[in-house]
Amino acid sequence: MMVMRAWAEAVASACPAPGAAHAGVALQTDFRYRCWRALERFIVSRKRRTALTICLHAILDGKPLRTFPGIAPTICSYAIPDGKPLRTFPGIALALAFVVVAAASGCQSKNGPSEVLDPSAIAAPANQAVSPAAQPAQLTASSATTAPKGSLTLGTGSTKIAMLLPLSASGSAGENGRKMYDAARLAMSDLGDKLVTLTIEDTRGDSGYAKDLAVKAITSGGVKAVIGPAELAAAQHLAKLSGTQRPPVLALADNFAGGPGVYSVRLSEADSAAAGAAAVAGKGAKKFVLMVRAGANSAAIEARVANALSIYGATLAVTIPYSASDGGKAVSDMGSLVEAPDAVIVASGDGSPTPVLAALKAKGIPGKAVSLIGTDRWLERPIDPLYEGAFIATLDQGETGPIADRFKAAYNYQPDVNVAYAYDMVALSAGIASSVGPNGFSKQVLENASGFRGSTGLFRFRADGSSQRSMPFFKVEKGRLKLVEKQTSGF
């Protein structure tokens, strides 16, 4: 059983101060050796599983993943020769997984992300009892539909985090809010309640009230980060604020583009389109067409897709914006603008993609010569027969990695991606508090290009507030999503 605080203390005692890392090659070699010896004490099991949590990986901007981050409070990385699969070492606890800027703890198993996070390895730090407030209650499936009352506080740590959830909202919004509440409780229990004081407020699903609660938390002077809100209008309002001396906001709203200091946690259509395009380009396609629903997010989608394709030497030949009424015409125009594309991407926004898909099908797309790429927004509707043969990169809505069994055991219902998002953000907050300290919630930490690995996979935040994620890659076959690749990304 791994003890997180002991792990942190072992590495801290084994490694020299950051400034000492520049003393010379001999010191660096000794430094790496002593850090590795500290790690050896925490190998978890013969199954090569690691401790529960989000882990940090090195990802070079615009390049495939080729590096293996080392473990130390100073930068210490090891190169993996090109052409070989990523191999990282097990046994890395949550608390040290977030030495974000100063250190990186690699923890990807060769068997994939779901194999590296082992909830059974988490324990409270030595001589520390988990407070009753942080213990997950045994809930029945129907209890998850009952909204907790009033402001709720979990933990007693010195780092104050606010979480805004639509606990008493009606319909699916309230149901998802209560799932995220349970996820937060599990994360607090897993990580030890001495790290963070998490205050959860009910936004009631009201965007105006959610905005007011967020502003109150931001201006309180004591909150180090805000998780939520889940209301899109409230998140968009916060993204327009220009103050720089404020805690970061990790917004849980769907289809939120992000803004400086207000980070979009959920998968975006831009990320889905970019990852899908990258996966197809990785198979040899070179010339792409993007058909995008005209709107505020169209430029971001175009930029992300173009960047993803450039990694593989492919090009975005043309971008064709369209509206709800002229999808068919846009497809006709495509023939005049580009000859013999290898793939067509359709980013439909909040509208149905079927008018465009019908026009494409009349031209034989998808077919042997031309691939069709959709986005996660397609799946907001039932799978239409016109989706057949399309590729889509998206998160598996039922995949919550290593927390699934623990969550089901604690709350007696199956977790979904809403649970994973909330768990990851509480875990991220607790990890930063443990490894960097209460004042570690800086842009430098959160926007580190190396990113983080959580129960939803690899993700990172960008300066514009957007997030980038790795995700599974599917093909629609016989009305169902068939897994093609376990992981793909557009960065």
pLDDT tens profile 116-130: 233 332 233 333 333
The arithmetic mean of pLDDT across residues 17-26, rounded, is 34
CA angle 359, 364, 368 (to 5 degrees): 145
Is the distance from CB of 52 to CB of 402 less than 8 angstroms? yes
326 Cβ partners below 8 Å, 6+ apart?
A: none
User: Residue 310 domain-assigned?
Assistant: yes
Packing angle of the helix pair 417-435, 171-191 (nearest 10 deg): 40
Confidence of residue 398 (pLDDT cuts 50, 70, 90): confident
Instruction: Specify the pLDDT at position 401.
Output: 73
User: Residue 82 domain-assigned?
Assistant: yes
Q: CA nearest 184: which of 415, 428, 426?
A: 426
Residues 341, 231: one domain? no
Give the count of domains, the chain: 3
Q: What is the pLDDT of residues 187-230, one digit of tens each?
A: 999 886 789 999 999 999 999 999 999 999 999 889 999 999 99
160/393 Cα distance (integer angstroms): 36
For residue 66, how many other CB atoms are within 10 A of its CB? 15
User: Residue 129 domain-assigned?
Assistant: no
Looking at residue 216, which CATH number applies to its domain? Answer: 3.40.50.2300
Is the distance from CB of 232 to CB of 207 less than 8 angstroms? yes
477/482 Cα distance (integer angstroms): 6
Residues 259, 276: one domain? no
User: Residue 389 domain-assigned?
Assistant: yes
Instruction: Specify the pLDDT at position 119.
Output: 32
Q: What is the pLDDT of residues 293-316, one digit of tens each?
A: 998 789 999 999 999 999 999 999
The arithmetic mean of pLDDT across residues 355-359, rounded, is 96
Which structural domain, as residue segments, surrounds residue 77?
4-121
Instruction: Specify the pLDDT at position 72.
Output: 30
Is the distance from CB of 99 to CB of 74 less than 8 angstroms? no
In terms of pLDDT, which residue wins out, 94 or 452? Answer: 452
DSSP H helical ranges for 292-346: 298-311, 327-337
The arithmetic mean of pLDDT across residues 130-154, rounded, is 55
Q: CA nearest 227: which of 260, 184, 179?
A: 184
Q: CA nearest 316: which of 378, 267, 373?
A: 373
In terms of pLDDT, which residue wins out, 455 or 125? Answer: 455
- Domain boundary (95, 121, 147) is at 121
Q: By CB neighbour count within 10 A (0-12 exposed, 13-18 middle, 19+ buried), where does 240 fall?
A: exposed
Lowest mean pLDDT among 149-158, 320-329, 418-427: 149-158
144 Cβ partners below 8 Å, 6+ apart?
A: 175, 178, 179, 182, 411, 413
Residues 29, 40: one domain? yes
Look up residue 195 and give its amino acid: L
Half-sphere exposure of 192 (CA within 13 A, CB side): 27
Residues 157, 76: one domain? no
250/163 Cα distance (integer angstroms): 9
455 Cβ partners below 8 Å, 6+ apart?
A: 54, 117, 400, 401, 402, 403, 420, 423, 424
Residues 355, 309: one domain? yes
The arithmetic mean of pLDDT across residues 263-290, rounded, is 96
- Residue in this structure with the two tokens 């997010």, named with its chain if needed: 297
User: Residue 75 domain-assigned?
Assistant: yes
- Domain boundary (98, 121, 144) is at 121
Residue 98 has pLDDT above 60, yes or no: no
Look up residue 48 and give its amino acid: R
Q: By CB neighbour count within 10 A (0-12 exposed, 13-18 middle, 19+ buried), where does 288 fall?
A: buried
* H or E stretch at 419: helix 417-435
96/56 Cα distance (integer angstroms): 10
Q: CA nearest 214: which of 243, 178, 193, 255?
A: 243
Residues 286, 330: one domain? yes
Instruction: Specify the pLDDT at position 145.
Output: 56
Q: What is the pLDDT of residues 400-410, one digit of tens each?
A: 777 999 999 99
Residues 346, 389: one domain? yes
Residues 20, 55: one domain? yes
Residue 99 has pLDDT above 50, yes or no: no
The arithmetic mean of pLDDT across residues 264-293, rounded, is 96
User: What are the CB-based long-range contacts (under 8 Å, 24+) for 11-17?
Assistant: 11/35, 11/38, 11/39, 11/71, 11/72, 11/73, 11/96, 12/73, 13/38, 14/38, 15/72, 15/73, 15/74, 16/74
Residues 344, 203: one domain? no
Lowest mean pLDDT among 96-105, 338-347, 436-445: 96-105
Instruction: Return mean pLDDT, the chain.
Output: 76
- Domain boundary (93, 121, 149) is at 121
Residues 419, 348: one domain? no
386/374 Cα distance (integer angstroms): 11
Residues 387, 317: one domain? yes
234/181 Cα distance (integer angstroms): 19
Lowest mean pLDDT among 62-71, 168-177, 455-464: 62-71
Confidence of residue 59 (pLDDT cuts 50, 70, 90): very low
User: Residue 231 domain-assigned?
Assistant: yes
Instruction: Specify the pLDDT at position 345.
Output: 98
Packing angle of the helix pair 207-218, 232-239 (nearest 10 deg): 40
40 Cβ partners below 8 Å, 6+ apart?
A: 91
Residues 192, 215: one domain? yes
In terms of pLDDT, which residue wins out, 158 or 116? Answer: 158
CA angle 345, 349, 354 (to 5 degrees): 65
User: Residue 97 domain-assigned?
Assistant: yes
Lowest mean pLDDT among 55-69, 158-172, 468-482: 55-69
User: Residue 161 domain-assigned?
Assistant: yes
